[in-house]
Amino acid sequence: MEAKNQLKCGEQPSEVSLSAVIQQLLILDLLSPEEICGFIRDGVGLSVHGRFRVATEKTLFAMPETAIGLFPDVGGGYFLPRLRGKLGLFLALTGFRLRGRDVQRAGVATHFVESKKIPELEKELVDLKSPSDADVSRLLESFQKQSDLDSDKPFVLDKHISDIDRLFSSSSVEGIVQNLKADGSEFARKQAETLSKMSPTSLKITFRQLQEGATLSLQDVLVMEYRLSQACMRGHDFYEGVRAVLIDKDQNPRWNPSTLEEVSDQLVDECFGSLGKKDLTF
């Protein structure tokens, strides 16, 4: 991979259009192995679709968009429903945070390497004489075996995986909330409380996004998500969420509609509707 195709952590792309970035994603069959470091914001959308994704103990992964009236964008509708069971749906709706080795255990990253070894890993990747998939894979596996940090700790959601699969198995967000409230466990209570704070519209859009994305290609998911982004820009909750969380920071968004029951199927359908000539094209 040439250096010009590598986007390092914290680096901002210059003047590049959204369509150009997406086309680059689809053209590159093998993205450069990348350390997902710090708090993942824009970076996860670029790195998560690569064949090799390296997390370190500094990694913090979350999809917090439902808290600001948005949805897991930049391909979230593709990779999240492909995680095991209902884990992706759980992460998408609740914004639950994964740290360090747990990012790999969840399937978001493919490898875990301690951050102190990253410079050496990068050098050896650059020095590969034949950077085939097999060569890159062997090198990453070698560095992973040298990284023992937190290897003895269980996956943070290990004891809740079966509960997540059971409680988040429903044909609607309302059904999930009912499951959580009826369960009575501390874990279920916390998730119900979390969902009660999220944008009802975002929750319903995200639920359907992952349902449809499970059977779509990445390209088709990106078309769908562009439509959703435009719907959010036309709506109320995205602006209100940004105000409450990022600007005024009062953490008290006033969602409209304010309940799941008020978010009609028609409203959700309109969010997924074609934009005609304004649709994203490749």
Tens digits of per-residue pLDDT, 57-99? 998 899 999 999 999 998 999 999 999 999 999 999 999 999 9
Task: Report the mean per-residue pLDDT for the chain.
Answer: 86
22 assigned to some structural domain:
yes
The pLDDT assigned to 43 comes to 63
6 assigned to some structural domain:
no
The Cα 231–Cα 228 span in angstroms is 5
254 assigned to some structural domain:
yes
H-only helix segments in the chain: 18-27, 43-47, 76-79, 87-94, 101-105, 118-127, 133-145, 161-167, 173-183, 186-197, 200-213, 218-234, 237-242, 265-271
Domain interval for residue 33: 15-278
10 assigned to some structural domain:
no
The Cα 98–Cα 139 span in angstroms is 25
How many domains is the chain partitioned into structurally?
A: 1
207 assigned to some structural domain:
yes
7 assigned to some structural domain:
no
Give residue-wise pLDDT tens across range 237-264.
999 999 999 999 999 999 999 999 999 9
8 assigned to some structural domain:
no
Domain with residue 245: its CATH number is 3.90.226.10
Which amino acid type is present at position 85?
A: G
Give residue-wise pLDDT tens across range 190-222.
999 999 999 999 999 999 999 999 999 999 999
Global confidence as pTM: 0.85
